[in-house]
Amino acid sequence: RAKEKGKNNIQLFSEDMAERSRKRLEIERSLRHAIERNEFFLEYQPQIDLGSHTLIGVEALIRWRHGGKTIPPLDFIPIAEETRLIITIGEWVVKEACRQIKVWDRNGLSPFTVSVNISARHFLDPNMVIRLHSIIQDAEVDPRRLCLEITEGAMEDIDNTMTMLQELEELGFRTSIDDFGTGFSSLSHLKRFPLHELKIDRSFVDGIIDDQDDRAITSTIISMAGNLELSVVAEGIETTEQLQELHGMGCQIGQGYYFSKPLTADRFNEWLSNRKSQT
């Protein structure tokens, strides 16, 4: 009987696997048409100066409207990363961010930075820099308005990363390490790389009040960023306590639900004008 039961389990297991790979294939197939069908859009989450409470940037986060639902990036970005689709998507994001920057500029909104997420897979593409450069040139956007967020995973190939970062630096792009502290960047490389910013991962901010280790890691990242002359952004701030604690540790910039969730461009514009009318 035990043997039979085991067999059933295996069968269930493989049905589950089959179902999952069917879903995957379906997502991959739909993803291929998502751009031409206009199914992607960006949401923007404000980044706030913790000292002056002014808006200094937004992070652009991709959304996929598909089959009546909005699919979050974690459900499709990993699938896109297994193919060249991630490159097409990454370029679409930069184009769309540039288009939005021009709209904000025409409406006389102050020139804040727009951060975009660049997948590690995309970052390792030798044509990435030249392609991004031509996108922003076509859009007539100053590269200093864009900050490219990469993860520590993109930094594994040291020589390649160095070359890419130097090229981006020469062209005037800003660069940031996202989810900092969750990977294993070597600190000696960090010192040599031409970077502008570190983003403290949300998991540390989450534990900053109750967890000694998270506090220690957060405060170490903040002082290290200071010593390396990098800006530091805390992501995932949800409470006043976290905000005060981070500000007390010397963190300059914050992002999180405490200030605002990611918003569509229209909602973001409303958010901006509400703030203006309050001050």
Closer by beta carbon to ligand C2E, 7 or else 236: 236
Task: Identify whether the C-beta of residue 254 lies closer than 8 Å to the C-beta of residue 50.
Answer: yes
Taking contact as CB under 6 A, which single stretch among the options 31-39, 134-142, 230-238, 267-275 is the one that binds ligand C2E? 230-238
77 sits near ligand C2E (criterion: CB under 6 A): yes
Query: Scanning the structure block, which residue is given the tokens 């540790």?
Result: 249
Residue 13 C-beta: closest distance to Mg ion, Å: 31
- DSSP result, 104-136: HHHTT----EEEEE--HHHHT-TTHHHHHHHHH
CB burial of residue 109 (10 Å; 0-12, 13-18, 19+): middle
Q: Is 93 in the site for ligand C2E (CB under 6 A)?
A: yes
State which residue, 46 or 219, has the beta carbon closest to ligand C2E.
46
Task: Write 271-274 long-range contacts (CB < 8 A, 24+).
Answer: 271/46, 272/55, 272/109
**Site residues for ligand C2E, window 233-262 (CB under 6 A)?**
235-238, 256-257, 262
| Site for Mg ion, residues 194 to 223, rule: CB under 5 A | 202
Contacting residues for 163 by C-beta, under 8 A, at least 6 apart: none
Surface-to-core class of residue 271, CB atoms within 10 Å of its CB (0-12 exposed, 13-18 middle, 19+ buried): middle
In the chain the first and final C-alpha atoms are separated, in Å, by 74
Check residue 43 for interaction with Mg ion (CB under 5 A): no
152 makes contact with Mg ion (CB under 5 A):
no
The helices-and-strands tally (H runs, E runs) of the chain is 11, 9
Q: Which is nearer to ligand C2E, 181 or 262 (CB)?
A: 262
Measuring CA to CA, how many Å separate 148 from each of 114, 142, 206, 219? 9, 13, 24, 24
Residue 95 CB, nearest approach to Mg ion (Å): 18
State yes or no: residue 128 binds ligand C2E (CB under 6 A). no
Minimum CB separation from Mg ion for residue 66, in Å? 22
* 156 to 195: interface string for ligand C2E, x by CB under 6 A: ----------------------xx----------------
Residues whose CB is less than 8 angstroms from the CB of residue 162 and which lie 6 or more positions away in sequence, other chains included: 192, 193
Which one of residues 34, 48, 50, 62 is an interface residue with ligand C2E (CB under 6 A)? Answer: 62
Query: Least distance from C-beta 92 to ligand C2E, angstroms?
Result: 9
Q: How far is the CB of 116 from ligand C2E (least distance, A)?
A: 6
Distance between CA 53 and CA 198 in Å, rounded? 19
Stretch of residues binding Mg ion (CB under 5 A), selected from 4-12, 172-180, 189-197, 204-212: 172-180
Q: How far apart are CA 89 and CA 1, in angstroms?
A: 51
Could you give the angle at the alpha carbon of 123 between the alpha carbons of 120 and 124, nearest 5°?
A: 95
Determine if 27 is a binding residue for ligand C2E (CB under 6 A): no
Task: Kindly list the residues in this chain that would bind Mg ion in the complex (CB under 5 A).
Answer: 117, 149, 178-179, 202, 235
Task: Kindly list the residues in this chain that would bind ligand C2E in the complex (CB under 6 A).
Answer: 45, 61-62, 72-74, 77, 90, 93, 117, 119, 149, 178-179, 202, 235-238, 256-257, 262
